[in-house]
Amino acid sequence: MPVHWTIRPQAPGIAPGAFALAAGDGAEYRLRLTPNLSMGRVGFVRMIAISAGFLALPLLAVLGTPVLWGLLPFAGLALWGLWYALQRNRAERKRLREELRLTRESIELRRFNPRAPAQHWQANPYWVRVKLKEKGAPVENYLTLEGAGRVVELGAFLSPEERAEIHDELTRALRHLR
- Phi and psi, residue 11, nearest 5°: -70, 145
Q: Assess whether 89 and 124 both reside in one domain.
A: no
CA distance 46 to 10: 42
pLDDT in tens, 1-57: 688 888 787 666 666 656 666 656 678 889 999 988 888 899 999 999 999 999 999
Are residues 147 and 108 located together in one domain of the fold? Answer: yes
If DSSP codes are grouped into helix, strand and coil, which group holds residue 87?
helix
pLDDT in tens, 40-51: 899 999 999 999
Is the same domain home to 152 and 167? yes
CATH number of the domain enclosing 169: 2.30.29
Decide which of 27, 60, 93 is a domain's last residue: 93
Model pLDDT for residues 140-149, shown as the tens digit of each residue: 899 999 998 9
Within the chain, strands assigned E span: 3-8, 28-33, 97-103, 107-112, 119-123, 129-133, 142-147, 150-153
- Check the CA dihedral 154-31-98-92 and report its sign: negative
Residues in the chain: 178
Q: Which domain holds residue 125?
A: 3-35+96-177
